[in-house]
Amino acid sequence: MILNEHYYRTLLEKFEGIKTLNEFGNNASSLSTKLILEHFKKNKPIHINFQSAKDLLFETGKQLFIELANDIYLNHYDLPGIKEGDKVKRQANGQYYLVYKNEDSSYRLKHQLRKTKKQIFPADIPNITYDRLVKGYVKVDSGVSDKTIKNYISFFEGLNSEKIDFPRTSFEMKTVFIAKKPLWDSLPNKNKIPCAYLPNPREENQITEINSIPALQDSLAYFTPKYEVCYEQLLLKDKKVKTIVVFDTETDKIEQIIQDKSRFGFNVIIVSNCFFPTINEAIPCWNWYKEEIKVVNAI
């Protein structure tokens, strides 16, 4: 335990260069998140433990969600696969179309008339390239409001201060949080970020996947209370996972997760809230004592 104010002031100055997407309400959460991001960018594991500080735990978890979701959005998006029979929504007018293939590898679109809506002409778009299709249309599973799509696109454009060429709705890699449902319930802006909660069918009444934006066909982040759910529903189904965040749960599964890390290639971040954290020699641990938190937050 270090109670030297100069030490923490120097540490805060050292990590000033690591930029975060949002402001923090306290120095302990800010410094913890920056420590995590420094290791994350180098693809190295890290464990942050708070002693009896659940508010700091949740602030760090929510900020980490935004940071890791944005990393997937910027660096691991994929061009959507378009096949005959898919449903797309045109960004310009909010109309829905069914996709059909032409013989020359282009596409044609047939307008799907919605109830209480007048026919839009031209009802069919006879020839459209893949490039125009992915830039001007969003692939959807079901009806979705114009506001939902615009909120999603504008959220990430605002976060990164840049316009995008096409709506990013497919992702080649995922972030996974092993966390109990209260973190999922408390996430900021999750209705603007395509993510999903995978329940544990052995313990929860909810047995189906919960999607933050149900009409979109992919998610960039998953949340589940049990590692075995992640293992069975994502890893064994060849979903590429970049990072697994173990959030204040499943301490008895850490050894197994570390073994699977080599097999599946993901990184591991642990964030916990306990007096005696489970330490693994393969993962460096920063253990915040209550007295240290008071010192650093007073700076």
Domain locations in the chain as residue ranges:
5-78+171-297, 87-160
Structure tokens given for 67:
């940071």
Its pTM stands at 0.91
For residues 48 and 36, the answer to whether their CB atoms sit within 8 Å is yes
Angle formed by the axes of helices 290-297 and 5-14, nearest 10°: 70
Q: What is the rounded CA–CA span in Å between residue 8 and residue 285?
A: 17
Backbone angles phi and psi of 293, in degrees to 5: -60, -40
Eight-state DSSP code of residue 122: S
Q: How many CA atoms lie within 13 A of 112 on its CB side?
A: 15
Q: Which CATH class is domain 5-78+171-297?
A: alpha beta
Mean pLDDT of the chain: 92
Which pLDDT score is estimated for 202? 83
Interval 75-132: pLDDT, tens: 999 988 899 999 999 988 888 899 999 988 899 999 987 655 566 656 789 999 999 9
User: Is the bond preceding residue 284 a cis peptide, omega within 30 degrees?
Assistant: no
3-class SS of residue 259 = helix
In three state form, how does the secondary structure of 131-189 look?
HHHHHHEEEECCCCCHHHHHHHHHHHHHHHCCCCCCCCCEECCEEEEEECHHHHHHCCC
- Residue 200, pLDDT above cutoff 60: yes
pLDDT average, residue stretch 206-230:
93
Q: How confident is the model over 50-72, as pLDDT tens digits?
A: 998 999 999 999 999 999 999 99
| Res. 215 pLDDT band, cuts 50 70 90 | confident
List residues bridging with 242 in a β-sheet. Answer: none
Residue 258: its pLDDT value, please? 96
| Res 181: pLDDT | 95
